[in-house]
Structure 1
Amino acid sequence: MVRLIASLVGAAFVLVLGIALFGSVSGAITDPVAPTAESVYHLHPKELELASNGVFGKFDRRQVQRGFQVYKEVCSACHSLRLVAFRDLQKIGYSEPEVKAIANQWVIEQPTINPETGEAATRKNIPSDHFPSPFANEVAARAANNNALPPDLSLITKAREEGTAYVHSLLTGYRAQSPAMLKAFPDAKTPEGLHYNPYFANLNIAMPPPLTSDGQVTYADGTKASVEQMSADVSAFLTWTAEPNLEARHAAGFASILFILIFCGLAWGAYRNVWRDVKH
């Protein structure tokens, strides 16, 4: 009797689920969701070819250094890099004296306490320090950015889908809204204080265009600093900050694959040697 009741309950449960599924599918077919400006005009990130792409990728240290220069002169005014220390810059080709100079000359100093008075104070950065935040706290950051909180960029290329391409597309994607879009979706007009960017999820972003003109940064190596070039370079730098051990990971992967191949060869040879006299 108990089994019969359990079977009936189970059958009823399956029937209800089937009816609900049928209703959802038929509703989606007969009454599809109306398109929105986001679903129609949101763009997929465009491709960005970097030396670090792919399984054989390695960082182009000259490009990563140029990207650091863009971050230093443009992005650091709003965005933190709290998971990266100044001494990490040695991994992209800076010497120890250069790292000391960069840390010492960094515009934003480290918060500290005056040991004599106990009052809040600041001190020069040293190589072991992490990059300081441009704002004292979240409230100050929002107050300076139209109530939007600038994200930390340490892991931004890992935190976003197709992160490197997304960052590059976002930086170069600012534009005016098309008349066709405003005609089709009158309510999609960009609100005051925001900026239209089709690579951003809801098309409107609080961050104004950070790269506004060619030559905004004067590269130390003489590379022409077009907006496209600066965007690609800072995207390469942020790819490095998110995964500084990428080259070591690739090398370890190749070593592991080579070991497995050699081991399989030796195992096969041992197998053939042990069973060579056995007739099937």
Structure 2
Amino acid sequence: MLSFASRFLGRNLNLVVGAGFLFALLLGIFSTVSGMIHDEPVHSAEHEFHLKPRDAGLQSAGLFGTFDKQQLQRGFQVYKEVCSACHSIRLVSFRDLEQLGYDEGQVKTIATDWQIEQPSVNPETGEPATRKNLPSDRFPLVFANDVAARAANNNAVPPDLSLMTKARDDGSDYVYSLLTGYGPQPAELLKKFPDAKTPAGLHFNRYFATLNLAMAPPLTGTDQVQYQDGTRATVDQMAKDVSAFLTWTAEPNLETRHAAGAAVVIFLLIFTALAFGAYRNIWRDMKH
């Protein structure tokens, strides 16, 4: 009897192991579903008071969205005068700004006058040095490393903004909502969750996942930036403009991609119509 059992297990070991894994998987699924059904829902300040991003209404949104170059230039101005003090856009080159409508001379001036220069090495002494930016250079990092960033920002590291709208759900809308979402904590929140008071050094924002973030409100009031095209720089306008700019930094080929997609759709429609016509022509004399 023992010999028969040994031979059976030897021949069907894979089947036994597979059955064991399947049983464990089904048990895990059952436990998870049972917990979801019977466990009490989690009640927390973040769960109840966190808001989904609002629609920024950008021209680049949608299947056939395009960039408004004037808005992109305004957004770059907001980044330059407000955001660049803390946040880098390390994946963007100065010469890429030509896509925003700046000419070669303007790009060269922007690069040369940028407040942070490129790290370099003195060829004579070998000591660290800096040099003026060139149009071919990428935008220099604001902080040399995370240690310097934390020291200057209450132990928080400001994220690089190059791909921010791709790295967050509802990208452009998220940036817009976050920049306009600062405010005092609702009395209802503090009443329901007394321990959820915003800690010192943090700032309440209902569009941030934890409701509190280290970044102080960067856009503080009307005319904080003097737009060169005469547009009034309200907080809402600046938030939309810099969101549009960061949409471009994350996906500068958006217009090309949308145009290619539209061309493919038109081609498929024409091809489908021709194929259907050919089908009708070939089979029109065939009797069923």
Normalising by structure 1, what TM-score?
0.91
Name the SS for the 2:120 alignment partner: strand
The alignment partner of 1:152 has SS state of coil
Partner residue, 2:240: 232
1:194 aligns with 2:202: yes
Aligned equivalents of 1:269 and 1:226: distance in 2?
56
Identify which range, 127-136 or 22-31, moves more after superposition: 22-31
Q: 1:119 to 1:37 in 2, by over 3 A?
A: same
Q: How does 1:129-148 map to 2 (within 5 A)?
A: 129-148=137-156
Aligned to 2:221: 213
Matching residue of 2:63 = 55
Shift, 1:98, TM fit: 0.6
Q: Which runs of 5+ in 2 are unaligned?
A: 1-7
SS of residue in 2 equivalent to 1:111: strand
Q: One-letter code of the match for 1:78?
A: C
Identify the match of residue 163 of structure 1 among 162, 168, 171.
171
> For the residues of structure 2 that align with 1:233 and 1:169, how far apart are their CA atoms?
12
- The whole-number CA distance in structure 1 between the counterparts of 2:259 and 2:170 is 23
Per the alignment, do residues 13 and 273 of structure 1 end up closer, same or farther by CA in structure 2, a change over 3 Å counting? closer
Q: Residue 142 of structure 1 aligns to a residue in which SS?
A: helix
Q: Distance in 2 between matches of 1:95 and 1:130?
A: 17
How much does 1:33 deviate?
Answer: 3.2
Counterpart pick for 1:40 among 34, 37, 48 = 48
* Cα offsets for 1:156-186 (capped at 9, x unmatched): 0000000100000100111111222112111
Cα deviation, residue 105, structure 1 = 0.6
Please give the alpha-carbon distance, in whole angstroms, between the structure 2 residues aligned to 1:11 and 1:126: 64
Q: Distance in 2 between matches of 1:92 and 1:204?
A: 34
SS of the counterpart of 2:178? helix
Q: More deviation in 215-224 or 33-42?
A: 33-42
Q: CA deviation at 1:259?
A: 2.1
- Following superposition of structure 1 onto structure 2, how do residues 257-276 of structure 1 map, counting pairs within 5 Å? 257-276=265-284
Residue 106 (structure 2) pairs with residue 98 (structure 1): yes
SS at match of 1:79: coil
1:105–1:6 Cα change, 3 Å: closer
TM-score by length of 2: 0.89
Select between 269-278 and 184-193 the one with higher mean Cα deviation. Answer: 269-278
Q: Which SS does the other structure have where 2:191 is aligned?
A: helix
* Alignment-mate amino acid for residue 119 of structure 2: P
The match for 2:119 among 103, 111, 121 is 111
Alignment equivalent of 2:189, drawn from 181, 196, 219:
181
Q: Which string of whole-angstrom CA distances, capped at 9 and with x for unpartnered residues, describes residues 216-246 of structure 1?
A: 0000001000000000000000011111111
Amino acid paired to 1:111: P
What one-letter code is carried by the residue in structure 2 that aligns with 1:123?
Answer: R
Q: CA deviation at 1:103?
A: 0.6
> CA RMSD of the aligned region, Å?
2.4
Give 1:34 deviation, angstroms.
3.6
Give 1:105's aligned amino acid.
Answer: D
**Letter paired with 1:173:** G
| Displacement of 1:9 | 8.5
Residue 74 of structure 2 aligns with an amino acid whose one-letter code is R
1:72-97 alpha-carbon deviations (Å, 9 max, x no partner): 00000000001100101110111111
Match of 1:83 among 76, 91, 104: 91
Change in 2 beyond 3 A, CA 1:12/1:120: closer
Q: Partner of 1:64 in structure 2? A: 72
Q: 1:21 to 1:261 in 2, by over 3 A?
A: closer
The number of equivalent residue pairs is 280
2:160 alignment partner AA: D
Shift of residue 276 of structure 1? 5.0
Gaps of 5+ in 1: none
Over 3 Å counting, the alpha-carbon distance change for 1:176 and 1:119 in structure 2 is same
- Cα drift, residue 18 of structure 1: 6.0
Offset, 1:215: 0.8
Q: CA deviation at 1:48?
A: 1.1
Counterpart secondary structure, 1:103:
helix
